[in-house]
A and B are shown apart, each in its own frame.
Chain A
Amino acid sequence: MSLPSEILIKMYRAMLRIRRFEEQIWEVYTGGLMHGLAHLYIGEEAVAVGVCAALRDDDFITSTHRGHGHCVAKGGNLEAMMAEVMGRVTGHCRGKGGSMHIADMSVGILGANGIVGGGFGIATGAALSAQKRGTDQVAVCFFGDGASNQGIFFEVMNFAAIWKLPVIYVCENNHYGEYTPTENVTAGKSIADRSLPFGIPSTTVDGSDAIAVYEATAAAVERARKGDGATLIECDTYRYRGHHVGDPGEGYRSKEEIESWMAKDPIQLLRTKIMDDNIASGAELDAEEREVEKEMENALEAAKAAPYPDVEEVNQHVYA
């Protein structure tokens, strides 16, 4: 199957936007322009982008502590995201949430999450709601290899299976949970296997290959919209940077390992594919990059210029 060229270009651009955003966060952090920490998604872009390219605006996602990529891919606004990470009132959450809690309900981003496994129930519940309301919306739950050991993962798969819920569980297996290698704490050959006892089909894809991720997701979305129920997709991926911006990411990971993953960089892979298939030239793709660069600069400037929320706001939004 060959994908329409506009999807490929759109995915290329989305991956660049994530990469640039995350690089910018790194500068913002090291430049002392933000408080707290952030978990960077660099290296994993093809997962968020491949999945979200197969979704509609009115579909839902739940995200993780490493959520910037998901939010960009699902239609979050770079300026509002940057402002949020910097605690400014123009942020998606008026500065109340920060990096780990970016949400934009208007485009189906039901929230990043500071609790590992925090999205399982919410995504599955969003799928239940779509079913009850009689829409054909689907919900995607992004989660890490580490999160796959939380008990609620198994609870929600059972719900999704008995009620044929339109939910897609997308595991981002980046081979570590914080500083611990996944295999040290995770039983079984693969996380994808975990849904099989529930009768939920699963597949494992190369998480550096946006096209492969897109295709797997598109098939799962079709299944879900038809009323055939849930799917689990395990994406093999890697974070180039540390667990968060304060972690150098070395010591517990070898240089060779990091370099071997960087050698199959998701953005480069798609760029090569686009150029090999004569969909766009290098010059055209470079132009995309310059545009993203400009968008990012504007977002940063706007965020920097934005004020912090008024202290009076602290009491607002506790209750509806």
Chain B
Amino acid sequence: MSMREMTYGEAVKEAMAEEMRRDPTVFLMGEDVGKAGTVFKVLLGLHDEFGDDRVIDTPIAEAGLVGLGVGAALTGSRPIVDIMFGDFIALAMDQIVNQAAKLRYMSGGQAIVPITIRSTMGAGRSSAAQHSQSLHAWLAHIPGLKVAIPSTPADAKGLFKTAVRDDNPVVIYEDKMMYALKGMVPTEEDYTIPFGQAHIKREGDDVTLIATSSMVHVALDAADALAEQGISAEVLDPRTLVPLDRETLIESVVKTTRAVIIDEGYKSFGITGEIASTVYNGAFDYIDAPIVRLGAMDVPVPFSKPLEDATIPTPEDVIKAVQDMKIIHR
């Protein structure tokens, strides 16, 4: 496989450009996605290649923007709709939850709604309560939607291309703290990553760290530190929440007998609960320690740096959770 090093942001842009070249029905719309290349600047150059017709700046009107995307998807287009901050998805929830997610089912299978909604998540930029949330659990809760949440440049590209080709509404969340993250990325045209395949980011035997998005890197850092203490941690990234690769998660915990689940969504009622129950049910006979869930603190994300930092899981939190399991090697 030919590979090239690129950033997470470049990988997203490359995925989009390739899909737009491949399929003339794909277009992108969103606030400042055109010449500005988004506020995060990750799509710079896309407008130069595809022009106003296919890389479209929109009014600031998230409900309308997503609604138009749904209507376009229903009638032969494959729109990519950009919602700058995941928090702003709140403004478009009716269109996503009551329209996009349900049209196929309500029409008895007549309709397809191949819309890709890309948005961002993640705290850490001192952007305060309305620009920092990780709300992917909201959408994972809704039957009819698929949710992808890539953690590396290669995953970002492969999952994005799959999202565009999928005939269902897909919401894909990019952690805005990861845009500069570098990694090797396959370059061939048809590189895609099937949805519903968890990825083992690091193999291990003593404990499984199930992590999503930027928390994968928190887990990997923790795994490095744990290795020095003689504890072998497996790091597993589900990559898509819907569909969720329950088997791989269960298999890993059957092997390691312990799990820590780390996600940046609010902890209460978040996806860590869903994953924990999946693992409890599937690996019940093998589990040696209570499963630990780590998530964002259940508070609006505070602005002040020391407070904000306190709300996000850290490698130290993961290490402590594992140490508390008092793993004894026999």
Contacts and interface: CB of A to CB of B under 8 A. Distances in A.
A32 B207 CA distance: 41
A149 interface: yes
B307 A96 contact: yes
A206 B32 CA distance: 27
B213 to A, nearest CB: 21
A217 to B, nearest CB: 25
Contacts of B306: 87, 308-309, 311
A151 B129 contact: no
Counting chain A residues whose Cβ lies within 8 A of the other chain, the interface size class is 35 or more
Which of A98, A147, A309 counts the most chain B CB atoms within 10 A? A98
Interface string A157-192: 000000000000000000001111000111000000
B149 to A, nearest CB: 23
B128 interface: yes
Given A36-B127, A96-B302, A98-B304, A179 B310 contact: no
B32 A178 contact: yes
B125 A178 contact: no
Nearest to B90: A115
A185 B303 contact: no
A318 B229 CA distance: 38
B32 to A, nearest CB: 5
Contacts of B299: 314-315, 318
A186 B298 CA distance: 39
B32 A36 contact: no
Counting chain B residues whose Cβ lies within 8 A of the other chain, the interface size class is 35 or more
A97 B129 contact: yes
B36 A37 contact: no
Interface in A200-248: none
Contact of B60 (A93, A95, A101, A147): A147
Given A97-B128, A98-B128, A114-B129, A87 B32 contact: no
A110 to B, nearest CB: 15
A87 B305 contact: yes
A37 B127 contact: yes
B327 interface: no
Contacts of A98: 126, 128, 303-304
A89 B87 CA distance: 25
B39 interface: yes
A100 B128 contact: yes
Contacts of B3: none
Interface in A247-300: 252
Contacts of B298: 318
Given A114-B130, A151-B63, A318-B298, A180 B303 contact: no
A87 B36 contact: no
A309 B88 contact: no
Interface string B91-133: 1000000000000000000000000000000000111111100
B129 A36 contact: no
Contacts of B292: none
A177 B60 contact: yes
B311 interface: yes
Nearest to B65: A149
Contact of B128 (A114, A146, A313): A114
Interface string B31-43: 1101110010000
A219 B310 CA distance: 49
B297 interface: yes
B58 interface: yes
B260 to A, nearest CB: 22
B87 to A, nearest CB: 8
A151 B92 CA distance: 11
A178 B36 CA distance: 9
A116 interface: yes
Contact of B130 (A93, A100, A147, A151): A100
Contacts of A93: 303
A312 to B, nearest CB: 9
A118 B129 CA distance: 13
Interface string A126-160: 00000000000000000000110111000000000
B263 interface: no
Given A36-B125, A101-B129, A117-B60, A314 B302 contact: yes
A39 interface: no
Nearest to B303: A98
Interface in B270-313: 297-300, 302-307, 310-311
A35 B59 contact: no
A35 B132 CA distance: 14
Contacts of B143: none
A76 B307 CA distance: 24
Contact of B36 (A89, A115, A252): A252
A66 interface: no
Contacts of A308: 304-307
Nearest to B299: A318
Interface string A301-320: 00000001101011100100
Closest 4 CB pairs of A and B: A98-B303, A36-B126, A95-B304, A114-B130
23 contacts: A36-B126, A36-B303, A94-B304, A96-B304, A97-B129, A97-B303, A98-B304, A99-B303, A113-B130, A114-B131, A117-B60, A118-B130, A146-B60, A149-B59, A179-B32, A179-B36, A252-B36, A308-B306, A309-B307, A311-B307, A314-B302, A314-B307, A318-B298
Interface of B: 31-32, 34-36, 39, 57-64, 87-88, 91, 125-131, 297-300, 302-307, 310-311
